[in-house]
Amino acid sequence: MHSPITSASNHCAAAATPAAMADKARFWNRIARKYASDPIADPAGYERTLQRVQALLSTEHEVLEIGCGTGTTALRLAPATRRLVATDVSEQMIAIAGEKLANHALPQLHFKVADADAPTAEQGTYDAVLAFNLLHLVTDLPQALSSAINALKPGGLLISKTPCLNEMNPLIPKLALPLMRAIGKAPPVLCFDARQLQAAMTAQGLQILAVERHGSKSKDSRVFIVARKPNAPPLAA
């Protein structure tokens, strides 16, 4: 049995309460401008992921991106979709994304504020849900996965790329991140490895189609997973 997914402070993740969601939004609002100016850590790996995702999408697809940040990836992927709705918990992140969108002719792309931990109002709407660099940052992973699955049409794809902190140097989740959190430099972070993340997905009924690593360096802790929502609900026992 795999160890449970935990936060970086080695406590089980808290429930996705309104207070927790508000705290999360405040953190990302505060750092939004700096986040927008930070360079992509692995440009080659990022481009490989974009190419892989573009190959999975179609101009007939309705797509939702959760945790879109300042919209860089949504702007790149929108031309490969019929409609792309990109959401983030941070109003400031979405404001910056809107500023970027103003310089592009992408009528199929829409940005809005929404929390990945919150239940979705658009159930069974999307052919694909995208979650990049997000699933380790949600408050409640099962809830976030359930919300994403509910947004998908039967047979739709959840496409994710996620840092797995339990595959990094142990000092990062056990020492560095708790210290950074204590001084307000990091948000709460969930710690898991790729097998634990896959187990969380299959527990929600997803079928894992692909598990890949796209990094350009020798060791890549960011796992890329493609998973499918079943075409029909499971039969009752």
Q: What is the pLDDT of residue 18?
A: 72
**For the chain, percent of residues with pLDDT exceeding 70:** 89
pTM of the model: 0.90
Q: For residues 130 and 157, what is the distance between their CA atoms, to the nearest angstrom?
A: 8
What stretches of 57-186 show up as alpha helix (H) in DSSP?
72-77, 91-101, 141-151, 171, 177-182
Angle at 93 between CA 90 and CA 97, to 5 degrees: 140
pLDDT in tens, 92-123: 999 999 999 999 999 999 999 999 998 887 89
Q: Residue 11 pLDDT > 70, yes or no?
A: no
Q: Sheet harboring 62-66: ordered strands across?
A: 109-113, 83-88, 62-66, 126-132, 152-163, 222-228, 207-213
pLDDT in tens, 51-65: 999 999 999 999 999
Q: What is the pLDDT of residue 10?
A: 40
Q: Residue 44 pLDDT > 80, yes or no?
A: yes
Q: For residues 106 and 75, what is the distance between their CA atoms, to the nearest angstrom?
A: 8
Give all domains of the chain, ordered by start, each with its CATH number.
6-228 (3.40.50.150)
Q: Which of 2-16, 63-77, 163-177 has the lowest mean pLDDT?
A: 2-16
